[in-house]
Chains A and B, each alone.
Chain A
Amino acid sequence: MSRSDVLVDADWVEAHNGEDGVVLVEVDEDTAAYDKGHIRNAVKIDWKKDLQDPVRRDFVDKDGFAALLSARGISNDDTVVLYGGNNNWFAAYAYWYFRLYGHQNVKLLDGGRKKWELESRELVTEVPQRAATSYTAADPDSSIRAFRDEVVAAIGRDNLIDVRSPDEFAGRLLAPAHLPQEQAQRAGHIPTARSVPWSKAAEEDGTFKSDDALRTLYGDAGVDFAKDTIAYCRIGERSAHTWFVMHELLDQPNVKNYDGSWTEYGSLVGVPIKTGDES
Chain B
Amino acid sequence: MSDGCGAPAGGAPLTDAGNQAVIQGRVAQAGAPVGTGYARLLNSDGEFVAEVPLGADGGFRFFAAPGSWTLRVLAPGGIRAEQVVSAAIGEIANLEVAV
Residues of A within 8 A of B (CB): 29-33, 36, 48, 52, 85-87, 89-90, 114, 117-120, 165-167, 172-173, 175-183, 197, 199-200, 204, 234-235, 237
Contacts and interface: CB of A to CB of B under 8 A. Distances in A.
B65 A173 contact: yes
Contact of B2 (A36, A182, A237): A182
Interface of B: 1-2, 4-10, 19-20, 36-38, 40-41, 43, 47-53, 56, 61-65, 74-77
A178 B65 contact: no
Given A119-B76, A204-B74, A177 B49 contact: yes
Contacts of B76: 117-120
24 contacts: A30-B8, A30-B10, A30-B53, A86-B52, A86-B53, A118-B75, A167-B49, A167-B65, A172-B65, A173-B65, A176-B5, A177-B63, A177-B64, A178-B50, A178-B51, A179-B1, A179-B63, A180-B20, A182-B1, A197-B47, A197-B48, A197-B49, A199-B49, A234-B5
Main SS of the interface on chain B? loop
A234 B36 CA distance: 28
A178 B74 contact: no
In the complex, which of the residues A120, A178, A200 has the most CB atoms of chain B within 10 Å of its own CB atom? Answer: A178
Contacts of A165: 49-50
B8 A177 contact: no
A177 B62 CA distance: 6
Contacts of B5: 29, 89-90, 176, 179, 234-235, 237
Contacts of A52: 4
A33 B53 contact: yes
Nearest to A85: B53
Contacts of B47: 166, 197, 200
A114 B40 CA distance: 12
A30 B77 contact: no
A178 B48 contact: no
A177 B41 CA distance: 8
Contact of B48 (A118, A172, A175, A199): A199
B69 to A, nearest CB: 8
A118 B74 contact: yes
B54 to A, nearest CB: 10
Contact of B7 (A29, A117, A172): A29
Given A36-B56, A86-B52, A199-B49, 7 more contacts: A52-B4, A118-B75, A118-B76, A165-B50, A179-B5, A181-B63, A199-B51
A48 B4 contact: yes
Contact of A200 (B9, B48, B65): B48
